[in-house]
Structure 1
């Protein structure tokens, strides 16, 4: 039998987590990218090797996606966004947790909250990266596994889709009248 428990973090609760993240980010300013990625990968591995509550396991998968986004040679994350992701991952370089991980179920609560806040802060990066990955998978299936699919391919496809949508919308407004908006 499972039990659902819902709780709400108010602004002051969230402020506490934000302060923790800001301290971790400040300490990580001097940490190399490779070290942040390695420490995050170790934290992910450690979490995945344990029996985790589902609410944590789902968030650990998102954390893994963040690291993949950083390492994806086809994605080409811009420098400013790359720095934001790395800064956010700095929390996972911290050895101390709010709630010790050895406490069953609840020991991972703070990790799950931090991952959730991180994912929410980077939601736009996530959604575009996931869209790109879906596109790449479909294109590799269509073109063959040996093909390369770049961010430029994806952007070109998005541009074509946008132009087609604009043409379709224009045609739907007043068929046969090119300047219908002006007359």
Structure 2
């Protein structure tokens, strides 16, 4: 079943599973650092939920209780999507909207920092805040990435007709033309033949 909110992985991290500070939390979180994290998150995706220290502690505790390989796989399922985002942002054939490009680079700058909400050198949970940011900000890029994937297919299949480097406008124009053709064929397929009315005088065999 598809989640209502686009996700970078098959299921969401249990950010709201625990509403209180769990015993034995892996580490405390500074209030100012949490505020900075939320400020960036809502700059990237204004409709993202608010994240508090208890929620992050809950997910961190849940993560360390998992088998190590499973925990690392869950983080990589989110952080591994950054390569696709970087490729899209760097692709000169795909003209990103300037405002979206700015938000994407803010996301990439954060995950490249070693000392952020959770320092990257903390065993296992050091990349949890990066993974959370990717997941919670994912709706910012989900639709753009779907279009970009289709653009890459279009460039591979039809790029020779554009000197190997079709642009975003070329892709959009062709896809719109294909959509118009599909709609026309769909209408024709569902139309009846022209009705000329009943035959007059019946049939004559000569």
Tell me the TM-score range normalised by the shorter chain.
0.5 to 0.7
Q: 1:169 aligns with which of 186, 190, 196?
A: 186
Q: Which residue of structure 1 aligns with residue 135 of structure 2?
A: 116
Alignment partners' CA distance in 1, 2:108 and 2:166 = 27
Q: Please report the RMSD computed on the Cα atoms of aligned residues, expressed in angstroms.
A: 3.5
Report Cα offsets for 1:43-102 as digits up to 9, x if no partner.
Answer: xxxxxxxx9922233333321222222221100112222223233334235442333323
Q: Which residue of structure 1 aligns with residue 158 of structure 2?
A: 139
Between 1 and 2, higher relative CO (CA 8 Å, sep ≥ 6) is seen in 2
- 1:123 deviates by 0.9
- Structure possessing the higher radius of gyration over alpha carbons: 2
- 1:9 deviates by 1.4
Residues 79/102 of structure 1: CA separation in 2 closer, same or farther (3 Å cut): closer
For the residue of structure 2 that corresponds to 1:109, the secondary structure is: helix
Provide the TM-score with structure 2 as the length reference: 0.55
Q: 1:10 aligns with which of 16, 24, 29?
A: 16
Alignment partners' CA distance in 2, 1:123 and 1:95 = 26
Q: 1:75 aligns with which of 94, 114, 135?
A: 94
For the residue of structure 2 that corresponds to 1:53, the secondary structure is: helix
Q: Is the 8 A contact 1:101 1:108 kept in 2?
A: yes
| Structure with the higher fraction of residues in helix conformation | 1
Alignment partners' CA distance in 2, 1:176 and 1:94 = 66
Q: Could you tell me which runs of 5 or more consecutive residues in structure 1 were left unpaired when the two chains were aligned.
A: 1-5, 27-50, 178-183
